[in-house]
Amino acid sequence: MYTTEAPSSSVLRRYTMHILKANALFFFLVTAVYPVEFVNYTNKNYVQDIAIHEDTVWIGSDGGVVKRLVDGTLLAEYSTKDGLLDNNVGLVYIDRSGNKWFGTGDGVSKFDGTDWTAYTTSSTGISIGGVGSIAEDKQGTLWFGTSHDIYKMESGEMKKMNVTESAIMTICIDSVGTLWFGTFHSGVYSFDGTTWKQYYPTSNEIFVDCIMSSAVDKDSSVWFTGMYSGQTTDYLCRFDGADWTIFDSSVIPDNRLYSYDFAIDTEGNKWLLVAQDGVCKYDGNDWELYDTADGLLSNFVKVITIDKNNTKWFGYSKKGITRFNGNTWDHYSVKSVIEDNSISSICVDKKGRKWFGYTSNRSITEFDGITWNTDSLFNNSITRIRVDKNNHKWVASDNGLYEFNDTNWVRHPNNSRFKDVAIDREGNKWCFAWLSGALKFDGANWTKYDTLGGMPSIRISAVAVDSSNNKWFGIRDPSVSGVCKYDGANWTHYDETNALPTISSCQEIFTEINGNVWFGFLDYGAVKYDGTDWTSYTPGDGLVNKAVFAIEIDKRGDIWFGTDSGVSMFDGTTFTNYTKEDGLVDESVTAIAVDENNNKWIGTRSGLSLLVDTVGTWVNDKEKTANVIRPYITMHTSGRNLFIRYAKNTYTTADILSYDFSGRCINRLSVSNMRSEGVVPIDISNTASGNYICVIRKTKRDLFRKRFVIMK
């Protein structure tokens, strides 16, 4: 089956469909006003929870869900496109009916093997918040620990228990059916079916009040890991029904238990995390440490789960999972093109290569259209990537400023934790660090700018250079609001006293070639300055959210805004918004870049989205005027071939290419005479099902594009 994708539900639709049947293959031709096709990339190796059901392992990560057989065989991956509420899954729970429950920051998703059901604040009518723990009692009632109370499921509906305002971090049930709830800052609550009881340090019944994980042993004692507010030491404690006991873990290196997760095996051994040093087993007398020397893939273990066969499953913050049966260690991870789901910056260089920086992974990824490559030389978070006139990449990071000349990386010494970098007409790099004003690097020397030289505040939050070589800085200062401009000699401060319409903190600055300067604010929306007037764009005008963190312009002149609730596109008159319902990987958008084909690369805190440009459109107005025959190409199938029919035009020769959505060219045909109408075949017998783009290209310039989908 060959189809073009229909537009998203949030976009105006107007299309016609023609169905042609040929040799049991179908071709759907859809003509749409603005088709939407998101291609999403997530890294599912940042494991946050593991659950075992019969012969399958369900893995929750900050990039979605992975399903494997217990032998490690990969069965499926799930994301928001499949029905998952959010890709950042912190909890996996399987009830007695085999339903899989996935806790996220927005609520919880239930998957019965076929259908997905979401329980959120909007769907239930009650303020659920994030779901971090679930347990099923003896009566089959499901209990949910959320970010601000306890809920239970009654007749398919959520009911708030109104017990506490604290976040519920863990739930367990003892042998007599009493439920135990560990909270963040409020100690432990128990419920025996009739009475609620709180255990808190002030009553001298428990030493820790921040409970992170819990489990019940074969003697029905309840075990907790956690810490006391204001301290950094994690503890293991036990309640035997009468007394609380704190266990001495001083034999662990630096006494660094990590209380995020905890499990008890069938022999009664307690398995705990050790901060950056692997895991340890406590048998009641001795502590035994396991690390990479023993077989762990990494010492940064985040999750422990033990199955009915006493096999231990360990999840890592970067490397997937490990299975340990007591003798052998087996490791499993999911292939991913991006290193981290929290993307801080994206840029496209002069050769069309895409560069991605991460908030926490300390690395940078390059995509050349075929291959994804990652360099992990960085010691801290990347905050911005820019390209200069020589195609050198400049990277602002928490470890200073780096330069890449396509061969070598060079770190330019400076002890500042840079939050942004911009490049002026002379090639100077303008950076800033928090509470340090601005710094200019001319290739050899650093020059500092602060309030002593006229800058209105040293609390800078954004930097950009406009078409007149003015340097613009955003301000995030409780006592000084607005933005400022430096023309090389003088500083000009703009705030509510001289026409800037907001006192909100400026998070992003974007400049157009025509001189317009765009500002994204934390709590207002966007503002455009054309040199004379300030124009506001807020949610009241159609912007999807008032917190704007990214701004970019595409090749049609449309302005794109990344916000805390998705992406907005502004064509000069109307806003069009894109959210998870439209296929966006996550709605917390942190970066946007536009490539040479007008595709939008959108970075979020939970993955990367590629918004493929409008299907079947002319690349620019010049091509549209010169080639007036439309549609330019049509397609049909016959046997093993996909036939592409092209209309006559003004070009003598051109190439017709087909790409998959990773950028790999799967077919290339050269047409020697396009001044006459013609048909070219593509053999698709060995082409896998998936999304593809057909491109007509003349001398490295794309003239026309159309997307098609192969489904066999």
Q: Is the pLDDT of residue 474 over 90?
A: yes
Written as six digits, the tokens of 340 are 């981290």
* Average pLDDT of the segment spanning 135-158: 93
CA 42/CA 414 separation, integer angstroms: 33
- Domains of the chain, start order: 2-37+616-710 (2.60.40.3080), 44-162 (2.130.10.10)
Written as six digits, the tokens of 662 are 């990773």
This prediction's pTM: 0.79
CA 412/CA 391 separation, integer angstroms: 17
Picking from 99-108, 231-240, 400-409, 426-435, which range would have the lowest pLDDT averaged per residue? 231-240
Query: 266-277: string of b/e by CB count within 10 Å (b at 16+)?
Result: eeebbbbbbbeb
pLDDT at residue 6 in the model: 30
Q: Is the pLDDT of residue 675 over 70?
A: no
Picking from 65-74, 124-133, 433-442, 635-644, which range would have the lowest pLDDT averaged per residue? 635-644
pLDDT at residue 647 in the model: 63
Query: Is-contact 507 522, C-beta < 8 A?
Result: yes
Q: Is the pLDDT of residue 70 over 50?
A: yes
Cα–Cα–Cα angle for 241, 230, 244, rounded to 5 degrees: 10
Query: In the Cβ-directed half-sphere of 287, how many Cα atoms lie within 13 Å?
Result: 18
* Average pLDDT of the segment spanning 157-170: 93
Reported as a pLDDT band with limits 50, 70 and 90, residue 13 is very low
Picking from 17-26, 179-188, 378-387, 675-684, which range would have the lowest pLDDT averaged per residue? 17-26
Per the prediction, the chain carries an average pLDDT of 85
Radius of gyration of the chain (CA): 28
CA 644/CA 681 separation, integer angstroms: 6
The label of the residue with tokens 């003015």 reads 470
CA 413/CA 454 separation, integer angstroms: 26
CA 311/CA 309 separation, integer angstroms: 5
Grouping H, G, I as helix, E, B as strand and the rest as coil, residue 215 is strand
Q: Is the pLDDT of residue 140 over 60?
A: yes
pLDDT at residue 650 in the model: 56
pLDDT at residue 18 in the model: 24
Percent of the chain with pLDDT over 90: 65
pLDDT at residue 255 in the model: 66
Reported as a pLDDT band with limits 50, 70 and 90, residue 579 is very high
Question: pLDDT per residue over 81-95, tens digit each?
Answer: 899 999 999 999 999
pLDDT at residue 702 in the model: 67
CA 66/CA 200 separation, integer angstroms: 38
